Structure formats: structure tokens, C-alpha cells
Amino acid sequence: MQHQRFARLVTVGLMPALLVGCMTQITTRLQPSPAIGMESLAALGSIERRKAAIGLYIAPNLRGLEESRELTQGHTVIVPIGSPFSAKLLQGLSYTFERVALLDKPELTPDLNGLMNVELVSSHVDLVGSRNIWSGQFTSQLSIILEVKATLTNRNGDVVWVGTGAANQTGETTYTAYDAGSSSAAFGLNEPLNRAIDAAVTQIVSALKQSESLRRFIAELGAK
């Protein structure tokens, strides 16, 4: 009788592990917000649009940047960086300039006063997991390192301003073995991804707003 009870306990204990090992292959794409978070907006301070029209060109390797990492065996997580970064930067710059046009190539049209060229300097994504043998819960930790460079030039191609945005963010999510085969296991990883992108964007916008060279650029446009 005791042997039968022991056998049942062993079987129940193995079920989560078997479920994780036998589940079908799934892919989860993280869903960071396309808008700058309220906390980051508050850090930017007051909105003051300069009377200038700027073209924004984001290098293809940054605009399309995304990474794939394995959450658990059979569960791949796609970490999109470039698309939400581009949307958030466009939003941030629209608070800085009267008009911002997203360009497919780094060429100014007659109605634009300057060009901001944004390029990727470096990026690194790491996703590691661990399991608590006592609770049976899994913890996955997402780390994101991102650095970008922005250069604003006038219509003559002269450099008006150069700045960088960087982020080094880590966050984690906890889930059970029964959740490992569903997208809900990765939902908690959206938060560190959002924080990293917000940090890089707001650093660029904040530094640009405080730039003396930008003030001179706007003053020259007003004098024409």
C-alpha cells in the first residue's frame, strides 16, 4: 500500500516536467508599448515645440532590430526593439519640433529644415531561467543593453547636434510549469523591454532639448 502511494507521488511530481518536455513548439512576441511611458514623459518636463520641420531617418539595422531567445525548451521569445524604439522616438521628437517626418532614406525634401540620422551603436539581449525546486516555479530574467547615436544636421549637411541614448535594464517574470507552454509565461518581460527603450529615447530627447546648439539652429531659422 505504501509502495503504491509512493508511486503515485512520484508520478504527480514528474507531471510538470513531462508537460514542459512534451509541449509543442510555440513562439511569443513581446508587446512593448509604442508610446513613451508616463514616468518617462514626466521626466522630460514641459513640452515646448520649436518652429522647425525635421526629417527623421532611422538606420535599417536599428529600425528592424529584434532578437530571439529561448524561454524554455520549445518556447521561443521574440524581443522587438527597433519598431517600438522608432515609434517612441518619433513621439518624443514631435514634442520638440513643430513637425517631424519619418524618412525611408536620409534625404531632405524642400519643406524640411534639418535631418536627424539615428544609428545603432550596440545592443545585447540575454534571457536566462532558473527553477525553484521547492515551489516548482520558474523565473526568467531578461537583460537588455542598448546604445544609439543621433546626429542632427542642417540643410547644408553641417552638424548641429550629436547625442546618444543608452539603456541597461534587467527584469524578471515568474511562472509555473503549467504556464510554460503559453504566452502568459513571457508577459512579465514586457516591462524591462519598455524601460530600456524609454530610457534610450528620453536621453536623446532630453539632451536635445537642453542643447545650446539647437537654440542657435532655431534662431537662425527664425532670422531667415
Going by pLDDT thresholds of 50, 70 and 90, the confidence category of residue 134 is: confident
Calculate what percentage of the chain has a pLDDT beyond 90.
Answer: 67
Domain holding 166, by residue range, is 2-223
Tell me, what's the pLDDT at 33? Answer: 93
Tell me the per-residue pLDDT of 28-38, one tens digit each, with 9 for 90 and over. Answer: 999 999 999 99
Q: What are phi and psi of 49, to 5 degrees?
A: -80, 125
Instruction: Provide the percentage of residues in the chain whose pLDDT is more than 70.
Output: 89
Q: How many domains does the chain have?
A: 1
CATH code (residue 48) = 3.40.50
- How confident is the model over 65-81, as pLDDT tens digits? 999 999 888 889 999 99
Q: Please, what's the b/e burial string for 130-154 (b: 16 or more CB within 10 A of its CB; e: otherwise)? A: eeeeeeeebebebbbebbbbbebbb
Give the model's pLDDT for residue 19.
46
> 156: how many CB neighbours lie within 10 A of its CB?
6
Model's pTM, two decimal places? 0.85
User: In this predicted model, what pLDDT tens digit does every residue of 77-120 receive, in sequence order?
Assistant: 999 999 999 999 999 999 999 999 999 999 999 999 999 999 99
> What does pLDDT average to over the chain?
87
Statement: residue 13 has pLDDT above 60: no
pLDDT band for position 194 (cuts 50, 70, 90): very high
